[in-house]
Amino acid sequence: MSSVFTLPKRLLRSSLAPLALFSRREDGSASFEFAFVAPLLMLILGSTFELGLLTVRETLLERALDLTVRDIRLGTGTAPQHDELKNRICERSYLLHDCDQNLRIEMIQLDPRAWVDPRQDADCTDRSQDVEPVRAFIHGRENEMMLVRVCVKVQPLFPTTGLGAAMQKDGAGDYSLIAKSAFVQEPR
Interval 143-181: pLDDT, tens: 778 888 999 988 888 888 888 888 888 888 888 899 999
Whether residue 132 contacts residue 24, with contact meaning beta carbons closer than 8 Å, is answered with no
Angle between helices 29-74 and 82-92 (to 10 degrees): 140
What b/e sequence results for 172-182 when a residue is b if at least 16 CB atoms lie within 10 Å of its CB, and e otherwise? Answer: eebbbbbbbbe
3-state secondary structure the chain: CHHHHHHHHHHHHHHHHHHHHHHHCCCCHHHHHHHHHHHHHHHHHHHHHHHHHHHHHHHHHHHHHHHHHHHHHHCCCCCCCHHHHHHHHHHHCCCCCCHHHHCEEEEEEECCCCCCCCCCCCCCCCCCCCCCCCCCECCCCCCCEEEEEEEEEECCCCCCCHHHHHCCCCCCCCEEEEEEEEEECCCC
Please tell me the distance from the alpha carbon of residue 95 to that of residue 183, in angstroms, as a whole number. 26
Other CB atoms within 10 A of residue 161 CB: 16
* Domain locations in the chain as residue ranges: 2-184
Mean pLDDT is highest, among 19-33, 37-51, 88-102, 166-180, for: 37-51
48-52, 55-59, 137-141: least confidently modelled range: 137-141
Instruction: Tell which wins on pLDDT, 68 or 7.
Output: 68
Which pTM was predicted? 0.73
Model pLDDT, residue 66:
94
Interval 104-138: pLDDT, tens: 888 888 887 887 777 777 777 655 445 455 555 66
Strands laid side by side in the 175-184 sheet: 104-110, 145-154, 175-184
